[in-house]
């Protein structure tokens, strides 16, 4: 059925897009009207149930969103910082309770107290100027430390469109096979979680027959604590765009799709402006630079669903379907967007491509450690003395990252959740054993992921954090597979009951639940949640013992 819906959606392509139409319909009240959804069902030749099912899934399309005016961040970094209760209280003096909603991680992890008002994000002390914010007398911009500790691949100053896009001209003068060989030699791996080699995806898509192919940028960076992709889109947008164009040339795609999360409104605006600038410079469209290469961009504004960070759910989302994870094979490089060959990569991965093509795969491979080549952006939260985004060579000791660019901690920390909600929960005593690369984290029982760091101060209960992780997964599950949909809810119920009453959890029951999630889930949401849970049970057994039989 989903393939048929993909074909129906693909009839009108990206110019008239069902998902976008639902977002536009929700602009005025926060949710599309039933009448408009019925019209869209008729227009796109899909069932009413399909359109209603899609709209009811997303945080910013569903009926509960109606009438909301301000949204408070409920991400992990704001939770452990303990800033949000006071923030809600201050907002309550300006808004009715039914006008206050929630968003998951606004990427303001460096200073917390984050909220969204009228399509803009605010954090830090902005709430103390809420009257100015409401009257639009003040345009507040967040600032955070940015630096490189090693090689500046992604944090190097932008040289301007004319100079920077000389790399595109040089790339188009070479064959796609030569460029692909450079990427293979570079060893560039996906920076969003699994560390999958980008050259393998490009090669697979290139070798799949099809007149229409797509390059999709997964900018739905929903991992609480991570804001590295936001940094790239807002401060280095052309690194992302050029990376997508070169990838398109290699595989034979003429369209790049930017899928940017709703919680990053500034990223959406800046990326669209960067695309417009390329149009003005005649670097998009047909016969670019007289080479016969055609390429255009389409920006899709997401509507609030963490699961869309999973590549197949993201593709279903663009098609106007419920963003449910697809069973693989076939893989997106074979049947992706509208069932056409598609390469999906995250922001940071694509942004590395121009460096590789300009400087050569050998140069990129010389940076880093072993199979973890190149650099990695690390997001440091508000518990560091110098919170911000730092680019480090792969293989840099984690202890060095914490104490040198990060400046150490502001207070005593007992654990760090690294790599998003599905990453490992690293006790502070394990820091000395880790280096910032895929292999080191994997060998020690953790996951590098986005390399975002959310700190848990000594006073923050581990049991409360585990409850938060289960609750997050239960809310964000696409619902397609039983282990994730039911298991996350049961885990939340168990921990909440133990935390708020005299109930004691059966350890064998918890172990069985975690194993079922890990082995039975379709994707990394349900399959990845067990990692931090197991880390907590291993390293914080003493603190958790009172909650278990």
Contact partners, residue 92, CB within 8 Å, separation at least 6: 100
Is 2's pLDDT higher than 70?
A: no
* Tokens 């920006």, located at residue: 299
Task: Report which of 338, 238, 346 is spatially closest to residue 297, judged by C-alpha positions.
Answer: 238
Q: What is the pLDDT of residues 70-92, one digit of tens each?
A: 999 999 999 999 999 999 999 99
1 pLDDT tier (thresholds 50, 70, 90): very low
What does the radius of gyration of the chain's CA atoms come to, in whole angstroms?
23
Burial of 464 (0-12, 13-18, 19+ CB in 10 A): middle
pTM of structure:
0.96
138, pLDDT greater than 80: no
What average pLDDT does this structure show over 298-308? Answer: 95
Q: Look at the block and give the residue holding tokens 């055609």.
A: 294
The mean per-residue pLDDT over the stretch 98-109 comes to 94
Q: Give pLDDT tens digits for 36-81.
A: 999 999 999 899 999 999 999 999 999 888 889 999 999 999 999 9
Q: Is residue 309 within 8 Å of residue 221, measured between CB atoms?
A: yes
- Return the bridge partners of 219, or none: 260
Q: Comparing C-alpha atoms, which of 165, 174, 247, 188 is closest to residue 213?
A: 247
Collapsing DSSP to helix, strand or coil, 260 comes out as strand
Q: What is the DSSP letter of 99?
A: G
Q: What is the rounded distance in angstroms from the CA atom of residue 516 to the CA atom of residue 68?
A: 37
Burial of 124 (0-12, 13-18, 19+ CB in 10 A): middle
Name all domains of the chain by residue range, CATH numbers in brackets.
2-65 (1.10.10), 70-143 (3.40.30.10), 146-368 (3.40.50.11540), 370-455 (3.10.20.600), 462-547 (1.20.1440.230)
Q: Are 247 and 345 contacting, i.e. CB atoms less than 8 angstroms apart?
A: yes
Cα(506)–Cα(502) distance, rounded to whole angstroms?
13
Spell out where 428-516 has E strands.
452-457
| Residue showing tokens 């003395």 | 385
Task: Tell me what pLDDT residue 137 has.
Answer: 64
User: Rounded to whole angstroms, how far apart are CA atoms 452 and 86?
Assistant: 25
Distances (CA, A) of 38 to 25, 43, 44, 47, 89: 12, 9, 10, 9, 39
Mean pLDDT for 182-194 is: 92
Q: How far is CA 53 from CA 8, 114, 197, 254, in A?
A: 16, 30, 35, 31
**Nearest CA among 223, 204, 215, 537 for reference residue 377:** 223
Mean pLDDT of 455-470: 98
- Mean pLDDT check: name the lowest of 1-15, 35-49, 165-179, 193-207: 1-15
3-state helix vs strand vs coil in the chain, percent to 5 = 45, 15, 35
**Mean predicted confidence (pLDDT) in 270-292:** 98
């Amino acid at each position: 059925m989903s393939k048929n819906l993909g074909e129906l959606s693909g009839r009108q392509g990206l110019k008239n897009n069902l998902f976008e139409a639902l977002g536009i319909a929700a602009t005025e009240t926060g949710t599309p009207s039933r009448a408009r959804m019925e019209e869209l069902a008729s227009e796109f030749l899909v069932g009413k149930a399909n359109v209603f099912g899609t709209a009811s899934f997303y945080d910013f399309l569903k009926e509960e969103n109606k009438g909301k005016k301000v949204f408070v961040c409920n991400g992990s970094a704001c939770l452990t910082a303990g800033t949000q209760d006071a923030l809600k209280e201050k907002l309550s003096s300006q808004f009715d309770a039914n006008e206050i909603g929630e968003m998951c991680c606004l990427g303001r992890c460096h200073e917390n107290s984050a909220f969204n008002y009228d399509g803009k994000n605010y954090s830090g002390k902005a709430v103390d100027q809420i009257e100015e914010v409401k009257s639009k007398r003040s345009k507040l911009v967040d600032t955070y430390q940015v630096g490189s500790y090693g090689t500046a691949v992604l944090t190097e100053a932008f040289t301007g469109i004319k100079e920077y896009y000389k790399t595109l001209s040089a790339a188009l003068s070479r064959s796609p096979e030569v460029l692909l060989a450079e990427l293979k030699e570079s060893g560039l791996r996906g920076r969003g979680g699994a560390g999958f080699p980008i050259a393998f995806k490009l090669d697979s898509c290139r070798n799949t027959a099809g007149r229409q192919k797509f390059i999709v940028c997964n900018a739905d960076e929903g991992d609480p604590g991570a804001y590295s992709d936001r940094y790239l889109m807002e401060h280095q947008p052309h690194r992302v765009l050029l990376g997508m164009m070169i990838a398109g040339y290699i595989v034979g795609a003429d369209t790049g799709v930017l899928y940017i999360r709703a919680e990053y409104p500034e990223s959406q605006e800046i990326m669209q402006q960067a695309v417009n600038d390329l149009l003005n410079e005649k670097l998009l469209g047909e016969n670019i630079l007289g080479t016969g290469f055609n390429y255009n961009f389409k920006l899709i504004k997401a509507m609030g669903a963490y699961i869309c960070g999973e590549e197949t759910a993201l593709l279903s989302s663009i098609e106007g379907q419920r963003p449910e994870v697809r069973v693989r094979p076939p893989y997106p490089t074979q049947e992706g967007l509208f069932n056409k060959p598609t390469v999906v990569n995250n922001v940071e991965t694509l942004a590395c491509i121009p460096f590789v093509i300009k400087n050569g795969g050998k140069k990129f491979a010389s940076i880093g450690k072993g199979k973890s080549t190149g650099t990695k952006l690390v997001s440091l939260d508000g518990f560091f003395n110098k919170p911000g985004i730092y680019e480090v060579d792969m293989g840099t000791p984690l202890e060095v990252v914490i104490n040198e660019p990060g400046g150490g901690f502001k207070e005593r920390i007992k654990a760090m959740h690294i790599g998003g909600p599905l990453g490992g929960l690293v006790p502070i005593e394990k820091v000395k054993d880790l280096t910032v690369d895929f292999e080191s984290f994997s060998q020690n029982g953790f996951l590098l992921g986005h390399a975002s760091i959310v700190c848990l101060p000594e006073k923050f209960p581990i049991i409360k954090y585990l409850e938060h992780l289960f609750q997050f997964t239960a809310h964000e599950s696409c619902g397609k597979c039983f282990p994730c949909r039911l298991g996350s809810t049961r885990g939340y119920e168990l921990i909440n009951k133990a935390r708020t009453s005299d109930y004691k959890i059966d350890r064998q029951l918890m172990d069985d639940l975690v194993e079922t999630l890990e082995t039975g889930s379709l994707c990394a949401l349900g399959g990845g949640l067990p990692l931090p849970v197991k880390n907590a049970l291993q390293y914080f057994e003493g603190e958790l013992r009172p909650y278990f039989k």
